[in-house]
Amino acid sequence: MKKHFIIILSLMFLSLELFSQRAEINFNNNWQFILDDNQSFSKENVNDFNWQTLNVPHDWSFEKGVRKGGDQGQGGGYHDGGIGWYRKTFEVKKQNLSKVTYINFDGVYMNSEVWINGNHLGKRPYGYISFRYDISKYLKQGKNTIAIRVDNSLEPSARWYHPCGIYAPVKLIVVNPTHFIPNSIFIKTPSIKEGKATVSIDAEINGDLKNLKYEVKLFSPEGKELVNTCKKLKVANPTYQFEIENPRLWSPESPTLYKAVTQILDGKRVIDELETIFGFKTVDWKTETGFWLNGENVKLKGVCEHWEGGPVGGAWTKPLLRWKLQSLKDMGINAIRPSHNPTPPMFYDICDQIGLLVMDEIFDGWHKKAPQDYGKQAFDEWWQRDVKEWITRDRNHPSIFVWSLGNETHDDIAPDLVKFGKNLDPTRLFTSGAGNPEDMDIEGVNGGSETKAFIESKTFDKPFISTEAPHTWQTRGYYRTQTWWRDNELPGTYELPNLTDKEVFFYEGINPKNWRNRKQSFNSSYDNATVRVSARKYWEVMRDNPWHSGHFRWTGFDYYGEAGLAHGGLPFNLFMGGALDVAGFKKDLFYFYQSQWTNETMIHMLPHWTHPRMEKGTVIPVWVYSNAEEVELFLNGKSLGKDKPGSVWNEMQCEWMVPYQDGKLEAVAYIDGKEVKRTSFSTSKQPSKLKTSIQKLDAEDSFTTSYIITSEALDEKDNLYPYGENKVYYNIQGDVKKISMENGNPIDPTSRTKSDYRALFFGKSRLFLRALPNAEKASITTASILGDKALYITNKITIDAKQIQIFGTSNSDDLEIRYTTNGENPETNGKVYKGAFQVTDGTTVKAVVKLNGKVVLNMEETFGKNKGLFWGDEHSKDMWIGRGINIAAEEGILTGEAKASEDAHHFKGSGFVKFDGKEGAVTFYKENDGAGKEYAIRFRYMHNDAGKTYPMKLFVNDIYIKTFKFVPTGGWVQNWKFVNAKVYFKSGANSIKLETTGESGPYIDELFID
C-alpha cells in the first residue's frame, strides 16, 4: 500500500511538471503514527515498522476515549493529551527541485514541530490555526521524509474537549519560483449600489517579475466571464479594480458566489494561477436598529459551535462537516459563531455555499483561562502571527461578516488587537464575546444578556449582539414538568413557571442517591431546564427589541467536555446545551426553532406517548411546535380541540393537558382550514425489532464518502420504543473505516471507537463510517438482543440480526444466531434462535451471530428489575431540595504532589485528594451564572495529626483570599469536618485554588458553594 502510494505521488509530480503551473496535492493519506516521544523520530531514516498507518484528519485523543483521570479533566470530557509523532515519505522527481514546494497544514493541535529530511522547519503553538512551510531547499531527488511532533503534554490546554494530532487536511503546494504569496489575494467590494458594484483585487507576488504580465478575470455564478484585465507586471503588489453590472447579492437565503481567477503570465504561458471565491453583500450595524444586510434589517438567528461539537471529536471530513452545518441550517439559523477559535478553511467554504453568516473568532482568552492553554503558553509571542494568518486566510469569504477577537476575557491588549486586525482588513468591524466591549466596534455580551434586569435596563452607545444566549439544556427523550435552574433561580430573571403542580415523570439516568451533586440530573426537553431564560422567551426578547441584533445560542450540537461545570462530573462526559445531541439526533428544541425560523410547513409533537409506569389519567402537557395557522390534537381518534401557535413566548407552542391512556396521539396542522401536515405517536410495547437506515454523504475534494448508520428499537407494530437501551452490535466488512459510534448519552462510558457495540439511548444510536481510498464494497452485520431491560412490560426477549450492504455488490450471506440464558458459551452450547423467548429477573442472555459459518459478533445483555434507567417516584430527588453546589476535589486540577485517592471511608463522589506529606494544590472551577456577587464556600477535609494544622492558601481567580488552618478531625478514615470562607465570584468562570504552604495538606474531599 505504501509503495503503491509513493508511485502514484511520483507520477503526479511528473504530470504536474509537464502540464500545470501550480499543483495542490492531497497529502492526507498513508501517514505513519505513534503515540510516543523520542527525538530520534525527527531523523530522516527511522524504523517505523510498528507505527500505525492512517489517513488524516486524525484525533488520537478521541480514539483513546474517556478515562477517569483523563489529562484534559472535566473541561475536556476526561480525554487524554500526550505527545504523538507522524511521519510520511514521498518521491520527488529531479525536474521538480527547481520549483517552490510548500507543505500546508489546516490544523494541528497543538505545539507542532515539523522536520523535512531531518531538517527542523519550525514550531506552531496554536492548535487552531493553519500554517505552512517552504520545504524547497531541503528536498532531494527520490525519497523524502516529513516528520511532525505534536505536543499536548501540558493539559488541560482548553476549557472544552480539544483534538490531538493532525485533525485537518494537509496538502503540498508546488509552484514556480515566481508565484502568488500565500493568503495575499484580497478581494474587496468598496461600492455596491443598485445596478453596479466595484470590485478591488489586491495581490502580492514573490519572485522575478521581469517580462511578466498579470491577468485577472471575474466570472459569474454560472461560470460566464464578466471582465478581464491584463497588464505588464511593474510592482510585486498589484491592485486591479473592476465595475460589475447588476451584481447578485450574497445572503443566507441566496448564497450567490462569484469567482476571480488571477494569473501570472510569461507570454501566453501561465506561471501561476489562483481561483478565489467571493461575493457581494452590504453590512451595516446601527445602535438603534441592530444588524442590516443588503439594506434589510435582519435578526441574527445564530448558534455558537465548537469545532469539536458532534460525533467525531476534532477529525471532521468535509462530507461530515457539510452534514453538520446543513443540519443547523435546516433548523433555520442564518449565522454561526465558531467558538472560540478559527476553524479549518473548509468550514468557511461550506458556509459560503449553503448560506451561513459567520462571526469568525480567533481566541478564547488573551491570557491564561485553562491551566495550560494557548493564552498561557504562547499568546504574547504569537498573537500577531496567528491573527495575520487568520484574517488574511479568511477575509475573502462572503460568509464572514464580523471578526471576533476573544471570549470572556479582558486585557489592555484589546486596542492593539483591533488596530492590528483593521490593518489587515478595514472592510469589517470587530467585536468579542464579552471581552473589552469598550474597545470593540460592536458590543458582544455572553450569558448576562439573558436576564430581565439586563434587557429592560440596558442602554447602549454602540450596536449590540448576544454572543452567547440562550443557555438552555435538553436531554433527548427526557421530560420533566417542573422547571429546573442550573444554580437555582437567579434574581432578575424572567419567570418560567412549572407546567404541572407536581412532577409526573420519574425516570433518571442515575439513581439520585448516587448523584455526586444536584447537577447530575438529565435535562428536560420541554424548554424548562435552563441557566437564566427559556429558548422561547429569549427569541421573543431579541425579536421584539429593535436594538437587539440577534443571538448566538449556546450551542448548536452537544459537545464533549465541560462535564463537571455543567453536569457535575463523571459519569457525565459531555455538555447537553445543543439543539442536536452529540450523535446528531434532533432534540425537541430543534423543532421549536424550526417553527419560528423556517417557512416550509412543519409540525412536531412532544412528549412521546409510551408511559408504562404512569398511572392512567395522569395529566401530561402535550406540546406541538408548528408554523401552520392552527393545530388539532386527537387521542384515539377523538378530537381534543384546536390551538394556534402564538407570538408570546409561552404561547409559541400549541398546548393541551391530556389525561394519559394508551393509544394513538395525533396532531394535524391546518392552513386556511385545510390539512397540510400531521404527525402521531402510538404507545409502544417492548422492543422486538432493530430498524437500520443508511445516509450517504457524498465524497468531495480530497475526502471519500461517509455514511451514517442509524439504529432504532421498534416494537412488533413498528413503533419506536422511546426507552430503548439495548446494545447494538456492529461487524464491519470491506473498504470502510469506523469513525465513531454515538448515541447522545452523556453518561455512557463505552468506547466510541474501539468497542463493537453502542447501547441505544432513548431508542436510538448511530455508527459513523468513512470509505477508504479506492473503496469497492462494504457491508455491516448488525444485531441486538432486544427487550425491556427492567422486564417491567414483559419478560419476552427477541434477537434481531441483519446483513446490510452499504455499497458495492452484495454476496449471498447466511446468518445464524445461537444463544444461551444460563451463562454458557453460545457458540458451543447455544440454541439456534428461532423466535422470541422468556427470561427471569437477573438473566444474562449471551448470543453469537455467525456469517457464513464464522462468528462475527459476540453479544451479551442482562435483564432485571434494577437494570437500565432508574425508575423512581415523586420523592426520589427530595434529598437534593435546597442544596447548593458541591464539587469533588478529585475532579479539580491537581498539581504538585496532590493525588486522587480512595483510601479513606465516607468520602463523597469517587474519592478525595491527599498530599502524603508533600506539597501541591487543587484547583476547582465554578461557573457563576448571574452577576458578580459574594458566595459562602466550604471545604470538607480530614486528618488526625495532633498539633498539625496543615495551613493552605485560598486563591480565587489568582487573588489571595486567606490561609486556612485545618485542625485535626479525630481520624484518618471517616471523620470529616469543614473550613469556611466568604468569597466574591465574578460573572462567568471562576477558579478556586487551595495550595499547601510548606507543611503539606490534609485530605480534601469536596468544595461546597452556597
Strands 464-466 and 443-445, by their bridges, are parallel
Residue 110: DSSP 8-state: S
Q: Which residue has the cell 495532633?
A: 946
As annotated, the active-site residues are 408
C-alpha to C-alpha distance for 912 and 970, rounded to whole angstroms? 17
C-alpha to C-alpha distance for 630 and 843, rounded to whole angstroms? 49
Residue 209 pLDDT exceeds 90: yes
Counting residues of the chain whose pLDDT is more than 70, the rounded percentage is: 98
Alpha carbon dihedral 312, 314, 319, 325, in 10-degree steps, equals: 90
Mean pLDDT lowest for which of 6-10, 339-343, 998-1002? 6-10
* pLDDT on residue 21: 84
pLDDT band of 10, cuts 50, 70, 90: very low
HSE on the CB side for 955, CA within 13 Å? 13
* pLDDT on residue 20: 53
Instruction: Say what the pTM is.
Output: 0.93
Report the pLDDT averaged over residues 826-844: 97
Q: What mean pLDDT, rounded, does the chain reach?
A: 95
C-alpha to C-alpha distance for 99 and 136, rounded to whole angstroms? 7
pLDDT band of 4, cuts 50, 70, 90: very low
* pLDDT on residue 75: 93
Report the pLDDT averaged over residues 958-966: 96
Q: List CB contacts of 49: < 8 A, sequence separation 6 or more.
A: none
Report the pLDDT averaged over residues 631-635: 98
Residue 490 pLDDT exceeds 50: yes
Number of alpha helices (DSSP H) and beta strands (DSSP E) in the chain: 12, 69
Give the Å distances, CA to CA, from 999 to 942, 964, 994.
Answer: 15, 12, 13
Write the DSSP string, 434-480. SS-GGGSSSEEE-GGGGSHHHHHH---SS-EEESS---B---TT---
pLDDT digits (tens, 9 = 90+) for 30-46: 999 999 999 999 999 99
Residue 16 pLDDT exceeds 80: no
N- to C-terminal Cα separation, the chain = 61
β-strand partners of 921: 895, 995
Kindly report whether the peptide bond that precedes residue 238 is cis, defined as omega within 30 degrees of 0.
Answer: no
CB 61 within 8 A of CB 152: yes
Q: Do you know the residue count of the chain? A: 1010
β-strand partners of 300: 550
Distance of CA 320 to the CA centre of its chain: 12
HSE on the CB side for 479, CA within 13 Å? 22
Residue 166 corresponds to which cell in the numbers above?
A: 493532525
Residue 365: DSSP 8-state: -
Long-range contacts of 663-666 (CB under 8 A, 24+ apart): 663/609, 663/635, 663/636, 664/609, 664/634, 664/635, 664/636, 664/637, 665/605, 665/609, 665/622, 665/633, 665/634, 665/635, 666/633, 666/634, 666/635
pLDDT band of 518, cuts 50, 70, 90: confident
Strands (E), 903-987: 912-914, 920-928, 933-942, 952-956, 959-964, 977-985
* pLDDT on residue 8: 41
CB 895 within 8 A of CB 372: no
Rounded to 5 degrees, φ, ψ at 878 are -60, -30
> Quick one: angle between helices 345-354 and 379-394, nearest 10?
40
Report the pLDDT averaged over residues 881-889: 81
Counting residues of the chain whose pLDDT is more than 90, the rounded percentage is: 90
pLDDT digits (tens, 9 = 90+) for 57-90: 999 999 999 999 899 999 999 999 999 999 999 9
pLDDT band of 501, cuts 50, 70, 90: very high
C-alpha to C-alpha distance for 767 and 742, rounded to whole angstroms? 7
- Residues 996, 999, 1005, CA angle at the centre, nearest 5°? 50
Report the pLDDT averaged over residues 561-586: 94
Cβ-in-10-Å burial (0-12, 13-18, 19+) of 1005 comes to: buried
Residue 9 pLDDT exceeds 60: no
Nearest CA among 280, 279, 301, 278 for reference residue 291: 301
Report the pLDDT averaged over residues 216-222: 98
C-alpha to C-alpha distance for 620 and 635, rounded to whole angstroms? 13
CB 372 within 8 A of CB 349: no
- In 10 A of CB 40, how many CB atoms? 8
Rounded to 5 degrees, φ, ψ at 307 are -50, -35
C-alpha to C-alpha distance for 254 and 297, rounded to whole angstroms? 16
Residue 2 pLDDT exceeds 60: no
Rounded to 5 degrees, φ, ψ at 354 are -95, -10
Residue 7 pLDDT exceeds 50: no
β-strand partners of 709: 694, 767
pLDDT digits (tens, 9 = 90+) for 683-741: 999 999 999 999 999 999 999 999 999 999 999 999 999 999 999 999 999 999 999 99
Q: Give the ranges where 831-899 is alpha helix by DSSP (H).
A: none
pLDDT digits (tens, 9 = 90+) for 743-791: 999 999 999 999 999 999 999 999 999 999 999 999 999 999 999 999 9
Phi-psi map region of 74: left, alpha, beta (phi>0 left; psi -120 to 50 alpha):
alpha
Residue 130 corresponds to which cell in the numbers above?
A: 493553519
C-alpha to C-alpha distance for 972 and 457, rounded to whole angstroms? 54
C-alpha to C-alpha distance for 514 and 510, rounded to whole angstroms? 7
